[in-house]
Structure 1
Amino acid sequence: MPKKTTSIPVNYFADAYNAGISIEKIAVNDLLTFRDAKQAHRHDCHSFFLLEKGTVSIEIDFKTYSIQAPAVIYMHPNQVHLILAFKEVVVCSLAISNENLNPDYLELLENITPTKPLALAADTFSIISETASLCLKFSERKNDNLYHSLLRDGCNALVALVASQYVNQAKSADKLSRFEVVTKAFNQVLERHYTTEKRPAAYSQKLNLSTAYLNECVKNTTGYSVSHHIQERVVLEAKRLLYHSDKSVKEIASELGYDDYPYFSRLFTKVAGMTALAFRSKNRD
């Protein structure tokens, strides 16, 4: 059973120079090397992992991925994850705060979240790996007058290379249909307001659309209604809190914007297919 906590554990990247950037290369042979590797957690920064060698099994928001090098993983601060297993791993890890990210890259990362691990072609891996190595060298030059600028700009170049791989996997904006453009905008607004806004009309108002048209766009693109997506996002956060914290179901309901605890319980059961307590018990065994 996970260690009891009052909230989802957050790993804070130590930074002696308070630069808001941490980059390192790690080589490990087995899971026992990391004392806290099997504890699910979030990060306080945007995290990028370049898997140079080995294999990793990781769970991200209750979905399991098996990854083989060469590959890259981007993790948004909202995403909860834990390492299930790995073998003979060499990984370059970058953590960077919102303040240090190029604003255009930050917006792009917000738009592509959530993401999945990506396998890399040999030529793509080569340039990303070379850039990561350069960033590691920058991180060692702490006595340079422009140390922070060098490190920030180098790491932003690394972020751009990784983000571009995710963008390549998706449709470009000029190829999106009107329905897809609206759905993308809805998802962005949903991520910001799902704890406070539960009615489709609230989202259509924020997007200056009629509720019927918003629902038509979202349903045409995804196959599901606006209400379905709102409920799914709320229940995902509830699952995170049920598994990774020791808060009661009533406390979780309140945190997610539901004063009517019985209603929240019924909603969770409908969406998850089991009660909140059953979910906690099943996943903590």
Structure 2
Amino acid sequence: MKTIIPLKKLNESTLDIMIDKMNDGFVEKIGREITKSHRNDFCACILPNKGKGTFFVDFKEVYLSSGFMLFLYPGQVQRIIKTQKIEGWVLFFDHNLIDDYSRSVLEESLYQGPVLTLSKDQKKWLFQLMELLYDTSIVNDMSTFHKPAIKSIVVSLIYKITSIYQASVTQDTKQYSIRSNTIVAAFRKLLRDNFKEVKSPAEYAALMNLSLGYLNDTLKMVTGNTVSYSIQEEAIREAQRLLWYSDLSIKEIASTIGFDDPKYFSRIFSKITNKSPVQFRQSHLSE
């Protein structure tokens, strides 16, 4: 059987939510699971108060320390490289707890990066809510209201994270009109959901009831990339994940992400990454 990227799921007994105190001991305790490359089918938030950590998320090293929060979305390939005297909170929760609007904002973390900078007040608020969530989760004194109480706290935390992230994205995109930013966000969501099946720029424009020229001009103005390049980039990002941590053949990977011709897939991969699929796979064999 072909090896694919391991997928971690939340234990059913955790109410689709798990919160724990983050420290070096916690990392050592579940080290085998999180220091090896994997995907989650849930969201993860890591909020340190002391120390620091180095993580590997979708082929990039990210660094975490006090004053920052790491937010990981389902599907990203990730692992912990190391932690140094880290203390804080780690929260896992089912992505279905996120409403549609918040999801559209938080999914931008796949493009903008998983680390959020926090102000002093934002950090204080988040830590207070994490403590309340932890205390509520370990003391079941509300009978049938226990599960709803926990979920309501997590939903509040989701909205807070969404507002912080939205503010950071708005700062980067405020030079463009609301309509342009809305079109780009809608296109990216449509692309994430359909990149394996839909490869034609014209089809995406039609699905959005826009002309291809208008969609292309808007996307290029905001992101610097054309519709065609964005489609290829999304597919190649998934191909990189499969090449990096699976033993699927290049032909199988090409087919998985919607390319009927492996040679054409290899040409597109080389154009996007400046490496052939074989070279990319070999560069990560030492992981």
Contact 1:72 1:162 (8 Å CA) reproduced: no
Q: Which residue of 2 aligns with 1:64?
A: 61
Contact 1:50 1:91 (8 Å CA) reproduced: yes
Extract unaligned runs of 5+ from structure 2: none
CA distance in 1, matches of 2:230, 2:187: 10
Q: Which residue of 2 aligns with 1:46?
A: 43
Q: Which moved more, 1:45-54 or 1:32-41?
A: 32-41
Contact 2:104 2:185 (8 Å CA) reproduced: no
Q: Which moved more, 1:220-229 or 1:6-15?
A: 6-15
CA distance in 2, matches of 1:118, 1:190: 24
Other structure's SS at 2:86 match? strand
CA distance in 2, matches of 1:93, 1:48: 6
CA distance in 1, matches of 2:22, 2:97: 23
Q: Which residue of 2 aligns with 1:11?
A: 8
| Alignment of 1:254 onto 2:255 | yes
CA distance in 2, matches of 1:40, 1:253: 21
Cα displacement (A) at 1:138 = 1.3
Q: Which moved more, 1:195-204 or 1:103-112?
A: 103-112
Q: Which residue of 2 aligns with 1:154?
A: 153
C-alpha distance 189-103 of structure 1, shift in aligned 2 (>3 A): closer
CA distance in 2, matches of 1:187, 1:75: 18
Cα displacement (A) at 1:174 = 8.7
* Aligned pairs for 1:124-143 within 5 A: 124-142=122-140
Greater helix share, structure number: 2
C-alpha distance 5-76 of structure 1, shift in aligned 2 (>3 A): farther
Q: Which residue of 2 aligns with 1:232?
A: 233
C-alpha distance 140-175 of structure 1, shift in aligned 2 (>3 A): farther
Q: Which residue of 1 aligns with 2:23?
A: 27
CA distance in 2, matches of 1:167, 1:55: 25
* Structure 1 residues 58-117: Cα deviation after superposition (integer angstroms, max 9, x where no partner): 121111112211321111102111112210111312121133334543343235544421
Q: Percent identity?
A: 28
CA distance in 2, matches of 1:145, 1:106: 28
| Alignment of 1:92 onto 2:92 | no
| Alignment of 1:120 onto 2:118 | yes
Cα displacement (A) at 1:160 = 1.6
CA distance in 2, matches of 1:131, 1:74: 16
Other structure's SS at 1:67 match? strand
C-alpha distance 181-57 of structure 1, shift in aligned 2 (>3 A): same
C-alpha distance 112-273 of structure 1, shift in aligned 2 (>3 A): closer
Q: Which residue of 2 aligns with 1:273?
A: 274
Cα displacement (A) at 1:137 = 1.1
Extract unaligned runs of 5+ from structure 1: none
Which amino acid counterpart does residue 221 of structure 1 have in structure 2?
Answer: V
Contact 1:53 1:70 (8 Å CA) reproduced: no
Q: Which moved more, 1:21-30 or 1:173-182?
A: 173-182
Other structure's SS at 2:32 match? coil
Which amino acid counterpart does residue 18 of structure 2 have in structure 1?
Answer: S
Q: Which residue of 1 aligns with 2:199?
A: 198
C-alpha distance 110-119 of structure 1, shift in aligned 2 (>3 A): closer
* Structure 1 residues 129-168: Cα deviation after superposition (integer angstroms, max 9, x where no partner): 0000000111113352211100100111112222221111
* Aligned pairs for 1:207-222 within 5 A: 207-222=208-223
What is the number of equivalent residue pairs in this alignment? 281
| Alignment of 1:181 onto 2:182 | yes
Q: Which residue of 2 aligns with 1:83?
A: 80
Other structure's SS at 1:146 match? helix
Q: Which moved more, 1:91-100 or 1:125-134?
A: 91-100
Cα displacement (A) at 1:176 = 4.5
CA distance in 1, matches of 2:49, 2:130: 11
Other structure's SS at 1:231 match? helix
